[in-house]
């Protein structure tokens, strides 16, 4: 149980294009999903917290117009990197919390984004 999937696992795009990453909780309903960014050999950096049916809460320094988050259902959240640039290349990871109230965050496998 508690499986979270992400799609795509890897994406290469040209500078200036937009990229959408999907995060799904496969066997539980998630009222809250989190989006993280991770640079090589570093810890996870929280970008935003996404609650189903409401606007995402962004961490300081994260541009909400550049990283669009939609949490349209209890099992799906999407992160769209708009007008991507090489500095946006990174490993993006989502996590989800079960709506049944447990504290645990279950992480997806991550999406490797490379912007050329």
Partner 1 sequence: GENVEQHPSTLSVQEGDSAVIKCTYSDSASNYFPWYKQELGKGPQLIIDIRSNVGEKKDQRIAVTLNKTAKHFSLHITETQPEDSAVYFCAASLRGNQFYFGTGTSLTVIP
Distance between CA atoms of residues 26 and 57, nearest Å: 23
**Cβ contact 109:7 at 8 Å:** no
**Cβ contact 79:11 at 8 Å:** no
Site string for partner 1, 72-101 (x = CB under 8 A): ---------------------x---x----
**Cβ contact 115:13 at 8 Å:** yes
3-state secondary structure of 58: strand
Measured from the Cβ of residue 81, the count of other Cβ atoms closer than 10 Å reads 23
Minimum CB separation of residue 48 from partner 1 in Å reads 11
By CB under 8 A, residue 60 contacts partner 1: no
Chosen residue from 49, 51, 70, 89 binding partner 1 by CB under 8 A? 49
DSSP state of 41: T
Chosen residue from 28, 106, 113, 115 binding partner 1 by CB under 8 A? 106
Chosen residue from 22, 31, 46, 68 binding partner 1 by CB under 8 A? 46
Chosen residue from 17, 42, 73, 83 binding partner 1 by CB under 8 A? 42
Chosen residue from 55, 64, 85, 112 binding partner 1 by CB under 8 A? 112
**Cβ contact 1:29 at 8 Å:** no
Instruction: List contacts with partner 1 (CB under 8 A).
Output: 4, 6, 34, 41-44, 46, 49, 93, 97, 102-110, 112
């Amino acid at each position: 149980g508690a499986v979270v999937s992400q799609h795509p696992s890897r994406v290469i795009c040209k500078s200036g294009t937009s990229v959408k990453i999907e995060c799904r909780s496969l066997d539980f309903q998630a009222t809250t999903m989190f989006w993280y960014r991770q640079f090589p050999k570093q810890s996870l950096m929280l970008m935003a917290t996404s609650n189903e049916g409401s606007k995402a809460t962004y961490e300081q320094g994260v541009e909400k117009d550049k990283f669009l988050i939609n949490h349209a259902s209890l099992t799906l959240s999407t992160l769209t990197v708009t007008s991507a640039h090489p500095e946006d290349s990174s490993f993006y990871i989502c996590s989800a919390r079960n709506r049944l109230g447990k504290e645990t965050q279950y992480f997806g496998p991550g999406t490797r984004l490379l912007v050329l």
